[in-house]
Each structure stands twice: as C-alpha cells, then as structure tokens.
Amino acid sequence: MQDPSKDSPARHLALQGASNFRDLGGYATSDGRTTRWRHIFRSNHLGQLTAADVEIIRALGVRSAFDFRGLEERTSGACVVDEITVHSLPIEPTVVASLRAELARGTLTGPLALELMRESYRNYVRHNTHRFRMLFGHLLEDRAPLVIHCTAGKDRTGFASALILHALGVPDDVIAEDYLLTNQHYKRDASSVSDLPADVVDAIGSVNASYLAAAFDAVSSDYGDIEAYLRDGLKLGAAERTALQERYLQA
C-alpha cells in the first residue's frame, strides 16, 4: 500500500457512526499522476452519523451520495446529512437469503458461504453493470466531493471503487490493497445474522481477495478484459476516460 506522506490527509476518517469512511485519494497511477484527495469517498451507510460526524462531512464539502443499497435496506438508514443529495443505484442484496435457505436445508458451511459471496460479485457484472454505468455517468457530471456507499461499504461499494481506480489508471495491486482496507476499519453489526455459524458470519462480514477476483473473472469471461468492460459495459470511451482523469487526477 502506498503510504501517504505526513502532509497528506487521513485516508480513513474515524467517524462514530460510520466505521468504513475512506478517501480514494493519494494513489499513484501508471502514468505518474495521483488520484485527488478529498474528491471521492467510499463508506458504509450514512444513516447513523452523530452530530459530530455530520459536521465533519459538512467540512469536507460532500454534496452527493451514490447509494447502492436495495430498496428495503434504504428505508432503515436514510442519510442524515441534509445538504447531501442521494442518488439511488439499487443492487438488491441476495447473499443472506441464500445462506438462510442453505441453513434451513442443513447444507450451510463456511466454504459454501465463501462461494456464495464470490457468486454475488460475479452477478455485479452479469446483472448489475447498468448500475455501475449510471455511477460513472454521475462521476462525469456531479461536482466532487462525493461519497459512494452501500450498507457496509465493502462489497457493492468495493467493486465500484475498484472500477473507479481502474478507470483512473491505478495499478491492480494497489486496487486490491485499497479493497482489503475494509478488514481493518469496518465494524460489523452481526445482530442481523446472529443465527448463522461464526465462520459464515466471518465470510459475509469481511472482504476477501477471492471476492474481487471473482468479479474480474466475470469481466474477463463476459467482456474479454477490464478495458473492454470499461468501454463496452460502462460506456467509458476515450473522451469519457480523459474527462474522468482530468477531473479526479492531479499531476
């Protein structure tokens, strides 16, 4: 992981009501530029922010949020920052329902939970590419600073963040390390899955390199490679890539 200098902003903002609020700035690209600090944030949901958290978010100047939560998820944790305009890009969660079905059948195991997580990532590509395409449309139109989130800020948000960093030219190993930072910062709420075995809860409550790899395997299978996916799946042609990089990179 590229260590920010002592003069760089903090990558992780330790909010009381959101444990996984992070900055995608400060990453070097393959052509020698750097992602801009304080432009794109990624987070878990913004429905439990404290008054002190809200003041921090306001000071950052965040005005737009892109929310990948499903329709039911959104009702239990609406954004509490009045100044933020929320754009819903719903990707309905499926893993917990699948796990409970396996539990009812008596077939639930830790390895199966890992595979169900990988399959959910493959489905981001197979069934939800239009949502990520919409996100990039917003990134090209909305003014930063902005935040991308889902419920935990780790899976849907993790894949979205990886796509953004790819589009900006950040190397694969750095993208993978940014993705795995969730395991250092996210404080999971296990109350909703307390009936599941501990190894299953671990599988769905953390990120794993094999999850992100499964999504990019689906990209390769369906589109050929990540460049083709950005072009054909996300509709980022040369002009859009250049505009995105001009907006979110610095020399």
What is the C-alpha to C-alpha distance for residues 203 and 84, in angstroms, rounded to an integer?
Answer: 32
pLDDT attached to residue 191: 65
Supply 158's token pair: 């993790």
Q: What is the pLDDT of residues 46-56, one digit of tens each?
A: 999 999 999 99
What is the C-alpha to C-alpha distance for residues 46 and 43, in angstroms, rounded to an integer?
Answer: 8
CB 129 within 8 A of CB 236: no
Quick check: 155 pLDDT over 80?
yes
Average pLDDT over residues 10-20: 95
Quick check: 38 pLDDT over 50?
yes
Whether the bond between 4 and the residue before it is cis, its omega within 30 degrees of 0, is no
Q: Estimate to the nearest angstrom the gap between the alpha carbon of 39 and the chain centroid.
A: 15
Average pLDDT over residues 153-170: 98
Which alpha helices (H) appear in the chain, and where do they start and end? 51-60, 71-75, 95-105, 110-141, 156-168, 172-180, 182-185, 198-204, 209-223, 226-228, 238-248
pTM (2 decimals)? 0.95
Quick check: 233 pLDDT over 60?
yes
Q: What is the pLDDT of residues 58-89, one digit of tens each?
A: 999 999 999 999 998 998 889 999 999 999 99
4-8, 78-82, 86-90, 186-190: range with lowest mean pLDDT = 4-8
Average pLDDT over residues 216-228: 98
Average pLDDT over residues 102-125: 96
pLDDT attached to residue 7: 67
pLDDT attached to residue 76: 80
pLDDT attached to residue 4: 46
